[in-house]
């Protein structure tokens, strides 16, 4: 009976040694890469940053923001200098703009309200100048008195031009004046509009109007209805009120003063006023 041959080990190195060699090669490549990164030349780094800046506009502050390798060779210390790096490369919003926003945020409500009032006052002053030009062009400067505040622009019309004594019926000759006023309101009445009727302090006691309160209210309402019928104004944005004798602008002891107090005022409010 023939003898069985004994098993012989395969030729060459053991299998584990090949795996170990591959691992050593990978570690060698890894350390070579780390060494190359830590010993990067300043000139090459400057060329790289400049190229990035010109191509992608990533570093608005220029290559000088890198300095002596702030983010490359200082290891963990780069975190301590991150703010300096970001500011120098232009990655943060403009400091002046941020300062203005912060200053605006820190203003008191009183200061903000004062700024808003000044802005409204300037806007209404510009509106008055534009309305004055229209009034001059339409030759009605003698019939309308203009004034303004930060809240509104006021058109004042003498009651004697609009109504007969003790009446709230618009005169026919007054309708042409109201038509021209309506054009102004359509152009500049993007905010709310208020029509106020005023009287002097002479008592009235008629069957139709028992007091100056009713007469002034009826006159304001008469102008209100006429404007709605002859313009494109929306009734939602137009109010009317009778003020009676409570808000005089002249001395009621003289005929001239009483004549001035008998009036209709139209207030065109600034659109920002609610």
Q: Is the pLDDT of residue 142 over 90?
A: yes
Q: Looking at per-residue confidence, does 127 or 49 come out higher?
A: 127
Residue 141 has pLDDT above 60, yes or no: yes
Mean pLDDT of 164-184: 95
DSSP category for residue 112: H
What is the arithmetic mean of pLDDT over 178-186?
96
The angle subtended at Cα 95 by Cα 90 and Cα 100, nearest 5°, is 150
Q: Percent of the chain at pLDDT above 70?
A: 69
Q: How far apart are CA 62 and CA 87, in angstroms?
A: 11
**What is the rounded CA–CA span in Å between residue 102 and residue 258?**
54
Answer with the residue of higher pLDDT: 36 or 176: 176
Name the residue among 165, 271, 167 with its Cα closest to residue 218.
Answer: 167
Report field, pTM of the whole predicted structure over 0.85: no
- Per-residue pLDDT tens for 87-128? 555 544 455 555 565 565 567 888 888 999 999 999 999 999
User: Does the pLDDT of residue 48 top 80, yes or no?
Assistant: no
Q: Identify the pLDDT of residue 22.
A: 80
Mean pLDDT over residues 217-232, rounded?
A: 97
Residue 69, pLDDT > 50, answer no
Q: Can you give the pLDDT at residue 39?
A: 59
Q: Residue 66: what pLDDT?
A: 46
Written as six digits, the tokens of 94 are 């403009």
The DSSP call for residue 232 is -
**Hey, what are 25's tokens?**
């090669």
Cα distance between residue 111 and residue 139, in whole Å: 42
Show the 3-state SS of the chain. Answer: CCCCCCCCCCCCCCHHHHHHHHHHHHHHHHHHHHHHHHCCCHHHHHHHHHHHHHHHCCCCCCHHHCCCCCCCCCHHHHHHHHHHHHHHCCCCCCHHHHHHHHHHHHCCHHHHHHHHHHHHHHHHHHHHHHHHHHHHHCCCCCCEEEEECCCEEEEEEEHHHHECCCCCCECHHHHHHHHHHHHHHHHHCCCCEEEEEECCCCCCCCCCCCCHHHHHHHHHHHHHHHHHHHCCCCHHHEEEEEEECCCCCCCCCCHHHHHHHCEEEEEEECCCCC
Backbone angles phi, psi at 13, to 5 degrees: -75, 160
**Taking 60 as the threshold, does the pLDDT of residue 144 lie above it?**
yes
Q: For 274, which DSSP code?
A: -
Provide the terminal-to-terminal Cα distance of the chain, rounded to the nearest Å. 119
At residue 151, the 3 state secondary structure works out as coil
| Residue 247 in this model has a pLDDT that exceeds 90 | yes
Distances (CA, A) of 103 to 59, 95, 107, 110, 175: 28, 12, 6, 14, 53
């Amino acid at each position: 009976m023939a003898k069985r041959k004994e098993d012989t080990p395969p030729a060459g190195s053991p299998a584990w040694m090949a795996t170990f060699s591959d691992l050593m090669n990978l570690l060698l490549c890894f350390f070579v890469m780390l060494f190359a990164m830590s010993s990067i030349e300043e000139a090459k780094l400057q060329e790289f940053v400049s190229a990035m800046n010109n191509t992608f506009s990533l570093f608005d502050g220029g290559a000088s923001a890198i300095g002596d390798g702030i983010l490359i060779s200082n290891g963990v210390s780069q975190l301590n200098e991150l703010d300096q790096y970001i500011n120098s490369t232009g990655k943060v919003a403009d400091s002046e703009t941020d300062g203005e926003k912060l200053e605006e945020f820190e203003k008191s409500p009183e200061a903000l309200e004062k700024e808003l009032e000044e802005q409204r006052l300037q806007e209404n002053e510009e509106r008055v100048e534009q309305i004055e030009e229209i009034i001059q062009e339409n030759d009605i400067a003698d019939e309308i008195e203009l004034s303004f505040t930060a809240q509104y622009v006021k058109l004042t019309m003498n009651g004697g031009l609009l109504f007969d004594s003790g009446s709230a019926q618009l005169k026919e000759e007054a309708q042409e004046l109201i038509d021209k006023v309506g054009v102004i309101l359509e152009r500049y009445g993007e905010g709310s509009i208020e029509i106020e009727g005023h009287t002097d302090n002479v008592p009235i006691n008629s069957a139709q109007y028992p007091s100056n309160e009713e007469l002034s209210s009826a006159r304001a309402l008469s102008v209100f209805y006429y404007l709605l019928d002859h313009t494109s104004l929306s009734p939602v944005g137009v109010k009317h009120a009778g003020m009676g004798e409570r808000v005089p602008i002249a001395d009621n002891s003289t005929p001239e003063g009483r004549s001035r107090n008998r009036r209709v005022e139209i207030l065109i409010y600034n659109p920002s006023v609610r």
